[in-house]
Amino acid sequence: MSTERKYRSEEWFQIGGLWGFLHRGWMKAEGFSDEVFTKPVIGIANSWSELNNCNAHFRQVADAVKRGVWMAGGFPLEFPTMSLGEPFMKPTTMLYRNLMAMEVEENIRANPMDGVVLLSGCDKTTPAMLMGAASADIPAMMVTGGPMLKGNWRGQELGSCTDCRRFYDELKAGTITDEEFAEIESCVSRSAGHCMVMGTASTMASLVEALGMTLPGCAAIPAPDARRYQLAEATGRRIVEFVKENIRPSDILTRKAFENAIRVNMAIGGSTNAIIHLVAIAGRVGIDLPLSLFDQLSRTTPWIANIKPSGKYLMEDLFYAGGIPAVMKELSPLLHLDALTVTGKTIGENIANARVYNRDLIVPLSEPLGPEGGTVILYGNLAPNGTVLKQTAASQDLLRHRGRAVVFKNEADMMARVDDPNLDVDENCVLVLQNAGPKGAPGMPEWGHLPIPRKLLQRGVRDMVRISDARMSGTAYGTVVLHVSPEAAVGGPLALVRDGDIIELDVPGRRLTLHVPDEELNRRRSEWQPPAPHATRGYVKIFLDHVLQAHEGVDFDFLRAVR
Ligand code: FES
């Protein structure tokens, strides 16, 4: 096949003897002729599933990639992967991100592929595929599935699922009817594709583009738009060349690329979940991203993209405004423009001709929506290893707040009591959820957006300070302190909080303080008992035995790169 270098697939198809006979013969059983064995093999990892509406159009996307691969002289072979559908999987897709990453890695490693195109969409499918491909480290490109079309109800544009939450609170407060809520249900999600606010899926698609792992412009093209299929076809053409150039994820996923991605995350008001995923992806290529780096870059990256849940527009609008290339062009004084990408060119070359077409959506760097990035990192005696808050989606008057703790010991306790009319709570209290972290839940579900007690909703309260070791959906909003590390289930200080303790949140000072004397905390610590493990067998047992804490990316200890 090649006189320049040996391809992996030659070990299957270009060998003699019984195994060469069998490999070729079984491929021919699918109807392929000898002609295909002269071409580089391009795997297409497809996370299509009818149990994942966000990725429901991926068969057509895969067809477009295949077309491109054939055009460029490659041999495309599509294979299925797990699909982590956010709406359905219990207790949380995050429990399975690492399993999917392992599956993708081992599928690539075990099969005759010279390069791979990764089709991802819904939240965890993107980091899982990138983690697996980074560990396998053969030439890889990603095509994300694109956002859904904008929702619309009675003339109001709706974003999934920021507005689902907003209207549910209105329903509980009695300001809309059951009939209206049912009507909205049919109006929010109008097509395949991932959530179309800057939630986790849109954020991860944007960051994968910023990392240089997709063709430029990929993130924001709406899922049903013909240009997404054109981009998929172009990716199919490019991967064949890319394999010949032998550029690997480890060549692209450099420290500079991660710093670019963190800056873009800050500038777009991206999901808090992106911090966990970026730390995990970087860990696969041997790069440490301490939380302090996120805060350092947050302090020096203005917020410039006016997109829900932090702002007002949706991903489809971002596409018309110029997409992530236009955001990066605006941010370019802060970026490493020499970072390599899958085009074979640098980020700087890729965005050279990008333009901003909507100045209300992508504002000038000199006139930002906020002077700092979307997400900040807080430390203190309640979170010695750090905690995360999305300041662009928080209430400005709560960013400095002292309040009395109302503690729920786990999610079941919270659901049983939060709407109890007798719950001793007012709008100045701080709601605390324990045992919702990586080991505690398990899997660190998106329970961090604790519901506002119904009696307070009915009095007009729409936000309160909330603290947990859980995550929060990237589509959610509020003054919500997340990813407290170490988590309660391993004995972190969060486990020691009691009803009535005073907690102080100081976002400008980046502090989270539990005002309880050390002697009292030590006494409580001596009495603390770990919760019973959630499993004694199977995958969940592996998860519990090996999962790392939030500030380490919630990857498995044995999957991080060996230096
Ligand atoms: Fe898949 Fe929101 S449910 S991205």
Residue 422 has pLDDT above 90, yes or no: yes
CA dist 539 and 555 (Å) reads 14
> Checking DSSP bridges between strand 400-408 and strand 502-506, what pairing results, if any?
antiparallel
What contacts 371, CB < 8 A, 6 or more positions away?
Answer: 302, 303
Index of the ligand 1 atom closest to the CA of residue 161: 2
Instruction: Over range 439-466, report the average pLDDT.
Output: 96
Residue 253 has pLDDT above 70, yes or no: yes
pLDDT per position as a tens digit, 359-404:
999 999 999 999 999 999 999 999 999 999 999 999 999 999 999 9
- From ligand 1's centre to the CA of 50, what distance in Å? 13
Residue 464 has pLDDT above 50, yes or no: yes
For residue 23, the model assigns a pLDDT of 98
Index of the ligand 1 atom closest to the CA of residue 200: 4
Instruction: Over range 270-287, report the average pLDDT.
Output: 97
Instruction: Over range 39-46, report the average pLDDT.
Output: 98
Residue 545 has pLDDT above 60, yes or no: yes
Instruction: Over range 252-279, report the average pLDDT.
Output: 97
Residue 3 has pLDDT above 70, yes or no: no
| DSSP one-letter string for 528-556 | --PPPPS-SSHHHHHHHHHBPPGGGTS-B
DSSP 480: E
Residue 476 has pLDDT above 90, yes or no: no
Index of the ligand 1 atom closest to the CA of residue 85: 1
For residue 5, the model assigns a pLDDT of 67
- From ligand 1's centre to the CA of 199, what distance in Å? 8
- From ligand 1's centre to the CA of 339, what distance in Å? 30
- From ligand 1's centre to the CA of 405, what distance in Å? 32
For residue 231, the model assigns a pLDDT of 98
- Residue from 194, 198, 308, 315 to probe ligand 1 pocket by mutation (most atoms less than 8 Å from CB): 194
| Amino acid residing at 467 | I
Instruction: Over range 459-468, report the average pLDDT.
Output: 96
165 pLDDT band, cuts 50/70/90, is: confident
CB of 446 within 6 A of ligand 1: the answer is no
- Residue from 162, 189, 195, 206 to probe ligand 1 pocket by mutation (most atoms less than 8 Å from CB): 195
The domains of the chain are located at 39-149+191-350, 151-185, 375-532
> Across the chain, what does the average pLDDT equal?
96
| Amino acid residing at 472 | M
What contacts 311, CB < 8 A, 6 or more positions away?
Answer: 269, 305, 361, 369, 392
pLDDT per position as a tens digit, 180-225:
999 999 999 999 999 999 999 999 999 999 999 999 999 999 999 9
- From ligand 1's centre to the CA of 190, what distance in Å? 13
CB of 195 within 6 A of ligand 1: the answer is yes
Residue 380 backbone class (left: φ over 0; alpha: ψ -120 to 50; beta: rest):
left
Index of the ligand 1 atom closest to the CA of residue 86: 3
CB 532 within 8 A of CB 544: no
b/e for 366-387, b at 16 or more Cβ within 10 A? eebbbebbbbbbbbbebbebbb
Q: CA of 65: how far to CAs of 47, 59, 136, 295, in Å?
A: 14, 10, 21, 38
For residue 6, the model assigns a pLDDT of 86
Structure-token pair, residue 203? 């954020």
Please tell me the CATH code under which domain 39-149+191-350 is placed: 3.40.50.2300
Architecture of domain 375-532: 3-Layer(bba) Sandwich (3.50)
For residue 4, the model assigns a pLDDT of 61
Instruction: Over range 16-26, report the average pLDDT.
Output: 97
Instruction: Over range 248-253, report the average pLDDT.
Output: 98
pLDDT per position as a tens digit, 106-164:
999 999 999 999 999 999 999 999 999 999 999 999 999 999 999 999 999 999 888 99
Index of the ligand 1 atom closest to the CA of residue 53: 1
For residue 507, the model assigns a pLDDT of 97
Instruction: Over range 503-524, report the average pLDDT.
Output: 98
- From ligand 1's centre to the CA of 141, what distance in Å? 21
For residue 2, the model assigns a pLDDT of 45
- From ligand 1's centre to the CA of 231, what distance in Å? 21
CB of 315 within 6 A of ligand 1: the answer is no
CA-nearest residue, atom 1 of ligand 1: 122
What is the radius of gyration, based on Cα positions, of the chain? 24
> Checking DSSP bridges between strand 480-482 and strand 383-390, what pairing results, if any?
antiparallel
